[in-house]
Amino acid sequence: MASCSVCGKQRIVGNNVSHSNKKTKKQILPNLQRIRVITDTGIKRLYVCTRCLRSGMVKKAV
């Protein structure tokens, strides 16, 4: 499973709980986008979550 290259956000594992209190496993996945980013070593394709994109933590390559 990929994670955010900036903040390290990954999947979260939890339980779906029904009305009768039965529990089944579920995964909550972050909204990751594979974008071209300008880094110190050049342009790379990285997985970045949308929160890091929106807050300006990465510089997108055009």
Q: Give the Cα separation of 47 and 2 in Å (integer).
A: 7
Phi, psi of 58 (to 5 degrees): -125, 155
Q: Looking at domain 12-55, which CATH architecture does it have?
A: Roll (2.30)
- For the stretch 28-44, pLDDT in tens is 999 999 999 999 999 99
Asked if the model's pLDDT at residue 61 lies above 80, the reply is yes
What one-character DSSP code corresponds to residue 52?
Answer: H
Domain ranges for the chain: 12-55
Q: Helix-strand-coil percent breakdown of the chain, rounded to 5?
A: 10, 45, 45
Give bridge partners of residue 43 from the DSSP assignment. 38
Asked if the model's pLDDT at residue 1 lies above 90, the reply is no
Question: Mean pLDDT across the stretch 9-29?
Answer: 97
